[in-house]
Structure 1
Amino acid sequence: MRSVMEVHAMYARDPRGRSLCVIGVRTSWRTVGDGEFFCTECGGDRNYRRRTGRRRFIVLGLPLVPRGWVTPVVECAACHSHFGTEALDHPTTTRFSAMLREAVHTMALAILAAGGTEARPVRQAAVGAVRAAGYADCDEDQLLNLIAALAADTGRLPGARHGDDGALDFGLGDPSTALAIELHEALEPLAPHLAPAGRESILLQGARIAVADGAYCPAERAVLETVGRALSLCPDDTARLLLAASHASP
């Protein structure tokens, strides 16, 4: 499917007074793909067409000499604005919401696994954070069942064991552990699409879970430091936020 999208030319009038292109360059476009993306002009999720274009030298309205290909574009099907193909790297609103839910859910599980699930305030804080992120039907039993599954699934999280305090020990001092990898996989793709305040807010949510039953234990602090790194927060900012959360805890 081709359509003329732009013409750079000199015009004249024919004997009947109609506009006639004398000489110029015309770009014709061809659609090579489609999908859904976040349109910054519309401010929401829209359908798009991915298009390639070719310029041609025209005389008297007739395309003659090819002038080469132009950079592919993404065209919004609603407002018809053109964007570079990097616009497809921005998640849609639906995708962004799903990424945020998964990030908070993974972080909450990691903190519970590190600090233990015996204290009800910790469980309630974790449920509240996960529900606020979008899992409205989350409850304590669901989180406890997932923690038990993590403990049993040694293939997924090798080396997991129960410590003396009942918490799961994943060897969090080693940044190459599977738990740290899972946190990075859930949080790193989200970080570029969040403002600094948004990234700090996620870390604070995790910190409030950890301090719901008192001071951070070493494993909880290690998880939260991993969260800070995955969110591209500098160590000083992470330390500041953890201190602020501990002072604000009852």
Structure 2
Amino acid sequence: MIIFGTRGITTTPQRGDFHCPSCAGKQHYALKRVRRFFTLYFIPLIPLDKLGEYVECLSCKDTYKPGVLDYDPAHNALALEAEYHRAVKSVMIHMLLADGVVDDAEVKTAANIYRSVAGREIDESTLRDEIDAAQSSAEDLGATLRALQGGLNNEGKELALKAAFYVAMADGETQPQEQTLLAEVGANLGMSEAHIHGVISSLQSPVN
């Protein structure tokens, strides 16, 4: 039986130094390129379409669009937002909207989770504005995450999934629709079922 398919392969065509917005200083970076390959017996043979590329800071592990290499702190006061922070906010907001109602307590919880998971502050009024914008625009979370797939490393993908899990568990348990959404978040980020299960299992395991 002939076994064929496709899978994404990540290569590192470029390395160097850049100004990392998160570290606020000069750090080593690796430019990562993700390309889909045709596989035969699980061996990648033919390069197909490019899924994306991103710059990874080798110090803090944040990932950015390649344009960050042109970042000049002297002429640009606003740091580029790390791609996985965008993913974290997107999954948190959609998890909050899963039951159709978002109260002040949930917004406060989400802000605390973002601070804990992403290591950044977000005030509740800003988060509420982003929730309202997502609600009115009917943003497609799947499309948003698939667009980020080629710009996130494994740490970023796991971070986004963890944030979704913590929001789902804010009331003490996950509902069936929330469990489905968690699986969809991981899948749309390009994570395998085993990877998704491993991350969620580690979060459910009691701490000794």
Partner residue of 1:202?
160
Q: Given that residues 101 and 134 in structure 1 are in contact (C-alpha distance below 8 angstroms), is that contact kept between their aligned partners in structure 2?
A: no
Partner residue of 2:150?
189
Structure with more relative contact order (C-alpha pairs < 8 Å, separation 6 or more): 2
- Which of 161, 184, 205 aligns to 1:226? It is 184
Partner residue of 1:62?
none
Consecutive unaligned residues of structure 1, counting only runs of 5 or more, are 1-37, 47-83, 158-177
Cα separation, partners in 2 of 1:151 and 1:95, compared to 1, 3 Å:
same
- 1:95 deviates by 5.9
1:113 lines up with 2:97 in the alignment: yes
Amino acid at match of 1:146: E
- Give the secondary-structure state (helix, strand or coil) at the position aligned to 1:91: strand
Alpha-carbon RMSD across the aligned residues, in angstroms, is 3.8
Between the aligned partners of 1:95 and 1:240, the Cα distance in structure 2 is 22
Between the aligned partners of 2:145 and 2:109, the Cα distance in structure 1 is 19
Between the aligned partners of 1:221 and 1:124, the Cα distance in structure 2 is 22
Cα separation, partners in 2 of 1:242 and 1:117, compared to 1, 3 Å:
farther
- 1:240 deviates by 4.0
Q: Given that residues 225 and 238 in structure 1 are in contact (C-alpha distance below 8 angstroms), is that contact kept between their aligned partners in structure 2?
A: yes
Q: Given that residues 165 and 182 in structure 2 are in contact (C-alpha distance below 8 angstroms), is that contact kept between their aligned partners in structure 1?
A: yes
Between the aligned partners of 1:201 and 1:133, the Cα distance in structure 2 is 8
Q: Note the 1:1-150 alignment, pairs <5 A.
A: 40=15, 42=16, 44-45=17-18, 89-91=53-55, 93=57, 96=64, 98-115=82-99, 116-118=101-103, 120=105, 122-131=106-115, 132-133=117-118, 135-136=120-121, 138-150=122-134
Percent of residue pairs bearing the same amino acid type: 20
Higher helix share goes to which structure?
A: 2
**Cα offsets for 1:171-196 (capped at 9, x unmatched):** xxxxxxx232223223x1233xx24x
Consecutive unaligned residues of structure 2, counting only runs of 5 or more, are 1-12, 20-30, 34-51, 65-80
Query: What is the TM-score with the length of structure 1 in the denominator?
Result: 0.46
Q: Given that residues 107 and 206 in structure 1 are in contact (C-alpha distance below 8 angstroms), is that contact kept between their aligned partners in structure 2?
A: yes
1:179 lines up with 2:141 in the alignment: yes
**Cα offsets for 1:107-143 (capped at 9, x unmatched):** 11111111443372x434421343453653x122222
Between the aligned partners of 2:91 and 2:123, the Cα distance in structure 1 is 16
Q: Given that residues 84 and 160 in structure 2 are in contact (C-alpha distance below 8 angstroms), is that contact kept between their aligned partners in structure 1?
A: no
Cα separation, partners in 2 of 1:147 and 1:90, compared to 1, 3 Å:
closer
Larger Rg: 1
